[in-house]
Amino acid sequence: MTPQPGPVTFASRDAEDAYWMGVALDEARSAAAKGEVPVGAVLLVSGAAVAKACNAMVATRDATQHAEMRVIKAGAYAAGDTRMGQATLYVTLEPCAMCAGAIVLARVGRVVFGAWDDKAGMAGSVHDLLRNPKLNHRPEVKGGVRAEECSAILSEFFASRR
């Protein structure tokens, strides 16, 4: 992704979150079209989008190629730093343990996700790794943004596989 020229301004934080979740949803749709589990993510650093990605586990034959992992890696490269305290990560599905661990290690400042994941979610569903008081970094977390749309794309994808 080519970084945008600068931060976009919004009337409210809720409006901003809804907009960027829409970008992540576009990435999720792209994943579904490729036969990947439809999860999409976008990473903002200081208000400007620096990376967007979707799951690519099937194409790469690599279980670590979750959307979050891909944008964290691209974002660190774009920002020139592995510590991204000024970053906001938008993702259509609650992060799993692997992604939550990467978020903590990269010190992402804020995580906004859409659908809750009752089977693997680590931002409150199964466990809350992102806000574990024993860890040295705890990002701000907001869940449920455009949750119905994020859940629907996953439900439709898996229903088509049955």
Q: Which sequence positions are flagged as catalytic?
A: 68
Report the C-alpha gap between 82 and 159 in whole angstroms.
38
Helix (H, G, I), strand (E, B) or coil at 51: strand
Residue appearing with tokens 């990947």: 36
Residue appearing with tokens 């994943």: 31
Helix (H, G, I), strand (E, B) or coil at 150: helix
Residue appearing with tokens 């660190």: 76
Helix residue ranges per DSSP H, the chain: 13-33, 57-60, 67-79, 97-106, 147-161
